[in-house]
Chain A
């Protein structure tokens, strides 16, 4: 596993950005949880609590026109591409102010104008989509990079292999990021793979480097993100990154996560990416007052977004029959 290397320099501004990003995603997901408990979030949610460093590290390395593809556990990634908390929480609550007008829901947070190319709820579906988008960028000469986030369970589905193979043979600018949180859903990933590392141990099959990073260390993730995205941008092809991390909650709202041993949970809670990073910033003499203020600002942002959602109208009934087709309608006959 690669810790941040001494040779890779991270500026003070970037460190503050990484911390701020993690604070904001933490605040967002806690608020999503609160809104669920208030009864405002319909359906279900899959929270990224505990996995903030992966989202923060990659988002900090991307250009505005790069493209991020995420799963149903995608709120973190989509927020950090520049979406507002209100548009994400509004979508979770299926309000008119949600990014998809309430038609997508918690599992489909999307804002393509920000490179937040969608959150995909069928495991593995988005890997080939990220590949195709990268290919289009190459043909159009845009120098965009596609970053595709997925869970450890995805490595056992066919699209994982088809997408990696195609990206590798076409040498496309895609960074595949496996957020290995040790559990596919309710089952330990170690019990359903014949190798130790679900992604990294399969990289060689596609001629790719074996990359494992501490996914709870934002600096380490940022370094890998910067090197793999720049490599992609130089035309040197895809990378497959396995980021080791842990979700603080169960798979979804229906899951209390009781299948995880208490001592394992406790050990990972100590490795909370925010605790790790706060300690690092303090050891680097960042003023505590500023760090505290950043934390308060993130919470205030989430509070304000939640207020906005509570006040937002339900979707316009007329929207039921719109936007099936590019002409805005849903007619199928004359």
Chain B
């Protein structure tokens, strides 16, 4: 057991899988000798060499198409897009090619690949370097989507993503890079599609993902002071989606809140809410409430961005307003 940052957990997770399986390779912009623009991949180039850890030009379409082709011919590649906003540059490769090829070829083509990218806001980078794009991927059949909230999960979910035989979008959250926790030594391997209860509670259920898990936890601690026992569920994976985890929780608490960084329309919380409304309406003692970023691009100004992204204050007030 040793303290590990979320940032260093990324290289540990990728390194764990590259050590285990020589078919695992890693490409992206500035990931090699430079160690990544966020220093998330430090040491991998030195450890595994330039054949398996490869710097690419600024060519997102070549990165994404390239890992697709590599996966078709016997490798298990990880491709990095520096910021998750850049999926827009290569959306054809992700949404039309990688996501659909297995189905459209009648199951002929297996694509065991991972697209790893730095997601999320709170770092004041402005509207094209701060988005949370997990919902963009969630709505495309054929993509699995994971977003870790803790250093331990960064490692375990990376292992799950690499070992999965389907394309996985792996969204680490750049606001969390400095987060630390004690992480067990040795191999850590999770499975996709398993949510975790981060804080048990009996009065309300708060479902969150990635950085919003920590917002929800802070809110839950403050709600406890106000006499409200909040259960916080970290979904960890949007596809596959652990619906059992939140449906069972809501059956006990009777209240469901979702906390998401996605802009209002068609964020992942809408799907969670819809499932709950269809399947556990009679367990509910009040409306399902989504706590989201408003339907705007994220502003660069710190005070404006802080107002836009859900905060613990907003979660506390929203929950109390429904109580």
Q: If A131-B65, A332-B241 touch, does A140 touch B106 (CB 8 Å cutoff)? A: no
Residues of chain A in range 287-334 having any CB-CB distance to chain B below 8 Å: 319, 322-328, 330-334
* B105 A108 Cβ-Cβ under 8 A: yes
Please tell me which stretch of A9-17, A117-125, A254-262 contacts chain B, meaning at least 4 of its Cβ atoms lie within 8 angstroms of it: A117-125
* A67 B73 Cβ-Cβ under 8 A: yes
The answer to whether B273 has its CB under 8 Å from any CB of chain A is: no
The answer to whether B64 has its CB under 8 Å from any CB of chain A is: yes
Please tell me which stretch of B93-101, B210-218, B290-298 contacts chain A, meaning at least 4 of its Cβ atoms lie within 8 angstroms of it: B93-101
**From B57, B93, B108, B165, contact of A166 by CB (8 A):** B57
A-B pair count, CB < 8 Å, reads 163
Contacts of A333 in B (CB 8 A): 193, 240-243, 275
Main secondary structure of the interface of A (DSSP, over half): mixed
* A136 B73 Cβ-Cβ under 8 A: yes
The answer to whether A156 has its CB under 8 Å from any CB of chain B is: no
Cα-based distance from A130 to B54 in the complex (angstroms): 17
Cα-based distance from A330 to B143 in the complex (angstroms): 11
Cα-based distance from A18 to B288 in the complex (angstroms): 67
**From B66, B166, B244, contact of A132 by CB (8 A):** B66
**A322 closest partner in B (C-beta):** B107
Minimum Cβ distance to chain B for residue A303 (Å): 25
In the complex, per-residue mask of B60-101: 1 if CB is within 8 Å of any chain A CB, else 0: 011111111111111101000000000000001100110001
* B65 A163 Cβ-Cβ under 8 A: yes
Residues of chain A in range 126-167 having any CB-CB distance to chain B below 8 Å: 126-137, 139-140, 142, 144, 146, 158-159, 162-163, 165-166
In the complex, per-residue mask of B89-124: 1 if CB is within 8 Å of any chain A CB, else 0: 000110011000111111111101000000000000
* A104 B65 Cβ-Cβ under 8 A: no
The answer to whether A101 has its CB under 8 Å from any CB of chain B is: yes
* B110 A159 Cβ-Cβ under 8 A: no
* B241 A324 Cβ-Cβ under 8 A: no
Contacts of A276 in B (CB 8 A): none
Q: If A137-B73, A326-B102 touch, does A165 touch B65 (CB 8 Å cutoff)? A: no
The answer to whether B15 has its CB under 8 Å from any CB of chain A is: no
13 sampled A-B residue pairs with Cβ under 8 A: A100-B105, A118-B105, A132-B77, A134-B69, A135-B70, A139-B51, A158-B61, A162-B61, A327-B165, A330-B141, A332-B241, A333-B193, A334-B193
Extra inter-chain contacts (16) besides given A111-B108, A166-B62, A332-B240, CB under 8 Å:
A108-B104, A112-B105, A112-B108, A127-B65, A128-B69, A132-B68, A135-B70, A140-B73, A162-B61, A163-B61, A165-B59, A166-B66, A170-B54, A322-B107, A333-B243, A334-B193
Chain B contact residues, CB within 8 Å of chain A: 25, 51-52, 54, 56-57, 59, 61-75, 77, 92-93, 96-97, 101-110, 112, 141-142, 164-166, 193, 239-244, 275
Chain A contact residues, CB within 8 Å of chain B: 67, 98-104, 108, 110-113, 117-118, 120, 122, 125-137, 139-140, 142, 144, 146, 158-159, 162-163, 165-166, 169-170, 319, 322-328, 330-334
